[in-house]
Amino acid sequence: MGEPADAALLLVRVVVGVVMVAHGWNHWRGGGGIAGTAGWFAGLGLRRPRLQAWLSVVTEIGAGLLLAAGLFTPLACAAVLSVMLVAGLLAHRPHGFFVFEEGYEYVLVLGVLAVALGAWGPGEYAVDTAADLAVTGWAGAGLVLAVAVVATGGLLAAFWRPRETT
């Protein structure tokens, strides 16, 4: 794609990766830590909230590091998309679009970036490219979407029990 595009892909991968690492770190060590994150997840209707808190920490930090390195990029993007799908569906959708009203605007942007990175591929400055592992185009985007939808569906089927409304 050329040097400017490869530099742009590196920038996007690193920024989204750092955002994910920071988000995972915050769930682990920030504010209320694991206990606070678990309490919030319980309030969203997730069973085994402490397990969910740890899964979110490992997924967000792991996906962020992999994405920044450009290693297993479609799988890292699928993890980002899955986290955004869960967050969007459970926490943000009821509040509408705008992030300043707790809406899904922010998670939508990160989720779309994850799918786009799957299509674009990691670029020249990535471990995947150096190791000849890069998956791009429709195959990359399809892999991101398929893995994320299956993972999200599995998590919600196994652990989400929506609150009953009266």
Report pLDDT digits (tens) over 86-125: 999 999 999 999 999 999 999 999 999 999 999 999 999 9
Tokens of 79: 């993890």
- pLDDT tens for residues 26-85? 999 998 999 999 999 999 999 999 999 999 999 999 999 999 999 999 999 999 999 999
**C-alpha span between 129 and 112 (Å, rounded):** 22
| Residue 76, C-beta contacts closer than 8 angstroms, at least 6 positions apart | 17, 62, 63, 64, 66, 67
pTM for the model stands at 0.94
